[in-house]
Structure 1
Amino acid sequence: MQHLTPKEYVHSVYHIDLDKLWEDGKRLLLSDLDNTLVGWNHPHVPEELAVWLLQAKQRGFEICLISNNRGDRVQEFAEQSGLAAIAAARKPRPDAFLRAMNQFGRRPEETVMIGDQLFTDIRGGNAVGIHTVLVLPIDRREWWGTRVVRRLEWFAMRSLVKRGLVIPDQSERR
């Protein structure tokens, strides 16, 4: 279960302690898109997210989207948000994670992966040795394939909770 265990589990990207990550030597934030930064297939960058991205960049972080979604969807969002992006990433395969780190000249110990799924985002990030942050999904609407995987994820999450993983209180969600 170690490969599915996130280093942190928070409500949303807005609950990530960017100062602590910076102090720990992290410089590159890799992030999933759908249900991590915005709702599934949401086409626009919400104001709150734009502010968070700006704060992260001003802090010195480089940011890259890594999404399994199709290229046009991811590229459009990347252009709107001013972020680099890797689409059709095939997470949890390591290729996209390694490509992003290479593109930015960063090592695993300088990199963070933020995502809402254990089997893609967290497993993939852990496989290449980067710091992983699991967030609660933004929306219940998802691609049908993700809904199937969520059922399996539920069993894995139960096991992780038994091993001490603390689930964020959903009532405090932003």
Structure 2
Amino acid sequence: MILTDLDNTLVAWNNPDGTKELHDWLAKMQAVGIIVMVVSNNKSARIARALKQLDLPFVSRALKPLPVGINHAIKELGVPKSAVVMVGDQLMTDVWAGNVAGVRTILVKPLIQTDAWNTQFNRLIERFVFKQLEKKQPLIYREDLNGNNHQ
């Protein structure tokens, strides 16, 4: 099961329609039986509006960085934590919540470089954390799932 954040992970926060690549990827996941579920701190009405074209299940008001929403999704779908991955664009909410919930996490680059006002503070903290991490070891980003790495 793939749990994913909504804004700037699945869709650009200011353009909820999603790309053709997203629609193709979701169709592939559905075809092989992989459940994709959105876990977002947004209100239910906002998520439902954004997912209208995508028809995905979701958990609203997830309270990330607390694991509440992730644990709710896991319980609702009845899957073991070992079968779950949390994907998100924010270290301080998505990855933190996934780690606290005990599931694997994937940090992705934000789809666009601008953020909603309420995310900008988290980005400031993230930049500091990333600088501290890079002092210990260079961060490597994979541009695709084929293992092509970029720094």
Normalised to the residue count of structure 1, the TM-score between the two structures is: 0.76
- Counterpart position of 2:134: 161
Q: Is 1:72 aligned with 2:45?
A: yes
Q: For 1:93, give the aligned amino acid.
A: L
- Counterpart position of 2:146: none
Q: Structure 2 regions of 5+ residues with no counterpart?
A: 144-148
1:123-134 to structure 2, matched below 5 A, reads 123-134=96-107
Q: For 1:55, give the aligned amino acid.
A: K
Percent identity (aligned) = 35
Q: Structure 1 regions of 5+ residues with no counterpart?
A: 1-27
Aligned length: 145
Q: How well do the aligned residues superpose, as a CA RMSD in angstroms?
A: 1.9
Secondary structure in structure 2 of the residue aligned to 1:79:
coil
- Counterpart position of 2:34: 61
Structure number with the higher helix fraction is 1
| More deviation, 139-148/107-116 | 139-148
Q: C-alpha separation between the residues in 2 aligned to 1:96 and 1:39?
A: 21
- Counterpart position of 2:122: 149
Q: C-alpha separation between the residues in 2 aligned to 1:120 and 1:58?
A: 30
Higher RCO, 1 vs 2 (CA within 8 Å, ≥6 residues apart): 1
Deviation, 1:105, is 0.7
Q: 2:67 aligns with which of 94, 97, 107?
A: 94
Q: C-alpha separation between the residues in 2 aligned to 1:163 and 1:114?
A: 24
Deviation, 1:165, is 5.6
| More deviation, 108-117/54-63 | 54-63
1:7-46 to structure 2, matched below 5 A, reads 28-46=1-19
Normalised to the residue count of structure 2, the TM-score between the two structures is: 0.87
Deviation, 1:57, is 1.7
Deviation, 1:138, is 0.9
Secondary structure in structure 2 of the residue aligned to 1:81:
coil
Q: For 1:95, give the aligned amino acid.
A: V
